[in-house]
Amino acid sequence: MGEAAKGVAALVLACTVWGLSPVFYAELSHLPPLIVLAWRTLWSLVFFALLLGPRGRIGALREPFAGLRATAMTLAAAILVSANWFGFIYAVSAGRTVESSLGYFMFPLVAVALGRVVLGERLAALQWVAVALAALAVVLLTAGLGAAPWVALWLAVTFGLYGLVKARLAVGPVVSVAAEVLVLAPVAIAVVLTVPAPPDLRTHLLLALSGVLTGGPLALFAYAARRVRLSTLGLGQYINPTLQFIVAVFWFAEPFTRWHAIAFPMIWVGLVLYSASRIAQDRAARRTDSSLGTSGTIVASP
C-alpha cells in the first residue's frame, strides 16, 4: 500500500470513529456531561503521555507555550475545544444527536464566514452562496421548530473559532491538543474531586476508553494530513457528521421533522458548492505552483 493510500485509510478510520462515537457516549449518558468531559480530559492526557513519552517527545509540549502569544493561543484553544466537547457530550446525552450532526455539517460554512468576518478573507461566489444557504437553513429551522438549533450553532461556532486559533499555532495537531488537555487538567481534577466516583467498573472502563477515542483518531488524522491532498482531507471529514446523522435517525430514533428535511438538504447543497469551490481553488494553486516550477524562476533564501 502506497503512502497516499495509507493516508486515505487513516483518514477514513479516524472520521469513522468520530462519526460512530455517539454510540459510545450514549453509554455514559447516566453521568452529567461535565463529569464525562472532566474524565475525558484526564484520560486524554494519559493517552497523549503514553503516545509522546516513548518517542521522546514530551519536551515538545513546551512549544505551545513558547512566548506570551503562543501561550494565549493555547489557552484559548483549550477553552474552545473543551466547550466543543461539552456541547457534543451534552447533545448525545440529551437525545439531540441530529442537531449535533447538523452542527458538524455546518462547521465548514461557519468557518468560511468567520474567515470573512474576522480575517477579511475573500470568498468565491460559490462560497457566498454556500454560506447564504446555511444561514437560510438555520432561519427556516428556527421558524419551523419555534427555537433556534442552539446545540448545532454552539458546535459549529466553537469548532470554527477553534480552527481560527489553531491556524495561528505553528505546532503539530497531536502536540497542540496534548498541551490543551494539559492546561485543562487542573480544572478537570477539581471537577472529579467534587463528585462521587463513578458507580461501577464498567463506567470506569468506558471513561478510560474515552481518552483513546479522543487521541487515537486525532493521531490517525495527523498521519493522514501528511499524506493526502487538502481537498481529500476536507471531503473525508464529512464522514463524521454523516455517520452521526445515520446513528441519530436510525439507531437512536431521534425525531426528524419536515423542517429538518428542508434544512439538511440545504446544508448539503451548500457543502457541495463549497467543496467544489475549494477543489477548484486547490487545482488552480497546483497549476500555479507547476508553472512557477517550470518557468526557471529561482527564489533565493537570505
Q: What is the pLDDT of residues 97-106, one digit of tens each?
A: 999 999 999 9
Quick one: average pLDDT of 108-132?
Answer: 86
Quick one: average pLDDT of 243-262?
Answer: 94
Give the span between the Cα atoms of 85 and 260, in whole angstroms: 23
Beta-carbon neighbour count of residue 23 at 10 Å? 15
Going by pLDDT thresholds of 50, 70 and 90, the confidence category of residue 288 is low
* Residue 291, pLDDT score: 55
pLDDT at 94 over 90: yes
Give the span between the Cα atoms of 87 and 99, in whole angstroms: 11
* Residue 240, pLDDT score: 94
Closest residue by Cα to residue 133 from 290, 270, 275: 270
* Residue 289, pLDDT score: 59
pTM: 0.89
The answer to whether 82 touches 40, Cβ cutoff 8 Å, is no
Give the span between the Cα atoms of 273 and 138, in whole angstroms: 18
Give the span between the Cα atoms of 99 and 248, in whole angstroms: 9
Q: Classify residue 172 as left (phi > 0), alpha (psi -120 to 50) or beta.
A: beta
Give the span between the Cα atoms of 24 and 110, in whole angstroms: 27
Using DSSP, state whether 301 is helix, strand or coil.
Answer: coil
Closest residue by Cα to residue 176 from 14, 84, 65: 65
Helices 258-293 and 97-119, axial angle in degrees (round to 10): 40
Quick one: average pLDDT of 58-86?
Answer: 93
* CA diameter of the chain: 69
